[in-house]
C-alpha cells in the first residue's frame, strides 16, 4: 500500500477494531454480572431450614425471585427437587458453572442443599449492531480527517518536486497550526531564500561579465598600442580586485556562519585602516567577536568609497557599537540610499564595495545604512 493516507486510515480502523474486540471479550468475561452468587447470598437469609415443609420452601423460593426473570430450583443433598420457580433445571453435579444444555449456576448451602439458578441468555444482537454502527461512523468520520492531512503532505511534496525541477517560485499553502503547517512555512522560507540567492547570482554574473569587459578592453588596447607597462599593470590590478570582490560576495552568500571568530577591537582596526589614507580614527574602544579580515575589508571599502565619491575631510569614528564614515561631499539622495548597496550601482558604488559592506555587517549580526554623506555600520558587542 503506497498511499500514506490509506495506510493511516486503515491503521485507525484496525486499531478501533482491535479495541472493540478486546472490549467485547472483557465485557463478556469480567463485566457480566454473576447473579448466581447474589441469589445464593439472598437464599441463605430467606430460605427456611432443610426440615421445613416443601410448601414453605417453595414460598420462600418464590419470594427470592420476585420481580426477577430467573429460573431457580432448590435440591436436597441427594438431588431430590424440593422447590422450583420458572423453567425446569437439572440436579446439580458440582458447584460453579454447569454447561449441560444451558447456562447454570449451582451453589451448595451450608446445610447441604443445592441452589441452582439459570440466568436468561442475553442476546448480543443489539450490542453487536451498535458496535458495527460505531465502527461505520468512525470509518466515515476518520477518512476526511486523514485525507486532509495527507493532501497537505502531497501538496508539500509537489512543491519540493517543482523546486527541484528549477521552479524557484514554487510555494505551498500554509494551512493550520500543526507540524505540517510549520513544515510548509519552513519550505516557503527555504524556497524564498534559494530564489533570492539564484537571482542574485544570475544578476551578479551578468553584471560581472559586463564590468570585466572594461579592464580587458583597456589591456587589449594597451597591448596593441604598446602603452607603458604601468598602465597594463594598473588594469590587471583592477581586474584582479574585481574578481576578488565577486568571489568574496559569492562566498558570503553561501556561508551559513562565519568561518573565523575571534575578539576584535573595532577602533584599533579602524585606526590601522585609516592610517593608510592619512586619517585618524576617533571614538572609543569597542570589542566584538568576528572575522578580523572581513571587518578590515568593511572599513577599507567605506574609506575607499568616501575617497572616490566624497570630498575631504573624511571622518571615521567608532562609538557605542557603531562605525561611522563621513565626508564633505554632496552625499547620496534619499531615493538612492538603499540602491547604493546593490552590486555595481555605478553612480555611487565602487564595484561591489558597498555590497560587501552590508553583507559583512549582516554576517556579524549587524546592519549598514546610508544617510546623506555618512555611512553607518551597527555591530553587536
Predicted pLDDT of residue 374: 94
Predicted pLDDT of residue 347: 44
CA contacts within 13 A on the Cβ side of 263? 3
Low-confidence ranges of the chain (pLDDT < 70): 1-7, 9, 24-44, 67-68, 93-103, 119-128, 131, 200, 203-214, 238, 242, 250, 253-257, 345-351
Identify the burial level of 81 via C-beta atoms within 10 angstroms of its C-beta, where 0-12 means exposed, 13-18 middle and 19 or more buried. Answer: middle
| Cα–Cα distance for residue pair 300/45, rounded to 1 Å | 108
Predicted pLDDT of residue 42: 66
Cell of residue 261, nine digits: 571568530
Residue that has been written with the C-alpha cell 580614527 in this structure: 281
Identify the burial level of 275 via C-beta atoms within 10 angstroms of its C-beta, where 0-12 means exposed, 13-18 middle and 19 or more buried. Answer: exposed
Backbone angles phi, psi at 368, to 5 degrees: -120, 140
Taking alpha carbons only, the member of 69, 71, 68, 99 closest to residue 83 is 71
Predicted pLDDT of residue 100: 44
Q: Do residues 366 and 380 make contact, with C-beta atoms less than 8 angstroms apart?
A: yes
Amino acid at each position: 500500500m503506497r498511499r500514506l493516507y490509506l495506510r493511516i486510515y486503515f491503521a485507525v480502523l484496525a486499531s478501533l477494531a482491535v479495541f472493540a474486540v478486546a472490549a467485547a471479550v472483557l465485557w463478556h468475561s469480567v463485566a457480566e454480572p454473576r447473579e448466581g452468587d447474589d441469589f445464593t447470598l439472598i437464599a441463605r437469609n430467606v430460605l427456611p431450614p432443610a426440615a421445613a415443609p416443601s410448601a414453605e420452601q417453595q414460598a420462600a423460593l418464590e419470594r427470592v425471585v420476585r420481580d426477577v426473570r430467573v429460573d431457580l430450583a432448590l435440591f436436597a443433598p441427594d438431588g431430590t427437587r424440593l422447590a422450583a420457580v420458572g423453567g425446569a433445571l437439572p440436579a446439580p453435579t458440582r458447584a460453579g458453572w454447569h454447561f449441560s444444555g444451558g447456562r447454570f449456576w449451582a451453589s451448595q448451602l451450608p446445610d447441604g442443599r443445592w441452589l441452582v439458578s439459570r440466568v436468561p441468555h442475553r442476546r448480543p444482537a443489539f450490542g453487536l449492531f451498535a458496535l458495527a454502527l460505531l465502527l461505520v461512523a468512525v470509518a466515515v468520520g476518520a477518512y476526511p480527517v486523514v485525507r486532509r492531512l495527507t493532501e497537505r503532505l502531497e501538496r508539500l511534496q509537489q512543491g519540493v518536486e517543482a523546486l527541484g525541477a528549477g521552479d524557484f517560485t514554487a510555494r505551498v499553502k500554509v494551512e493550520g497550526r500543526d507540524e505540517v503547517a510549520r513544515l510548509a512555512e519552513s519550505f516557503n522560507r527555504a524556497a524564498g531564500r534559494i530564489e533570492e540567492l539564484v537571482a542574485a547570482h544570475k544578476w551578479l554574473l551578468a553584471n560581472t561579465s559586463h564590468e570585466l569587459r572594461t579592464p580587458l578592453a583597456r589591456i587589449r588596447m594597451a597591448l596593441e598600442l604598446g602603452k607603458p607597462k604601468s598602465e597594463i599593470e594598473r588594469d590587471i590590478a583592477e581586474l584582479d580586485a574585481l574578481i576578488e570582490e565577486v568571489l568574496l560576495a559569492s562566498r558570503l552568500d553561501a556561508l551559513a556562519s562565519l568561518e573565523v571568530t575571534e575578539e576584535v577591537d573595532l577602533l584599533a582596526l579602524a585606526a590601522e585602516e585609516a592610517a593608510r589614507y592619512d586619517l585618524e580614527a576617533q571614538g572609543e574602544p569597542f570589542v566584538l567577536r568576528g572575522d578580523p579580515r572581513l571587518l578590515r575589508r568593511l572599513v577599507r571599502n567605506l574609506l575607499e568609497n568616501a575617497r572616490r565619491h566624497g570630498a575631504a575631510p573624511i571622518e571615521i569614528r567608532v562609538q557605542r557599537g557603531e562605525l561611522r564614515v563621513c565626508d564633505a561631499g554632496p552625499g547620496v539622495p534619499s531615493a538612492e540610499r538603499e540602491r547604493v548597496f546593490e552590486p555595481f550601482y555605478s553612480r555611487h558604488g565602487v564595484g561591489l564595495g558597498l555590497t560587501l559592506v552590508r553583507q559583512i555587517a549582516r554576517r556579524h549580526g549587524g546592519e549598514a545604512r546610508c544617510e546623506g554623506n555618512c555611512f553607518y555600520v551597527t555591530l553587536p558587542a
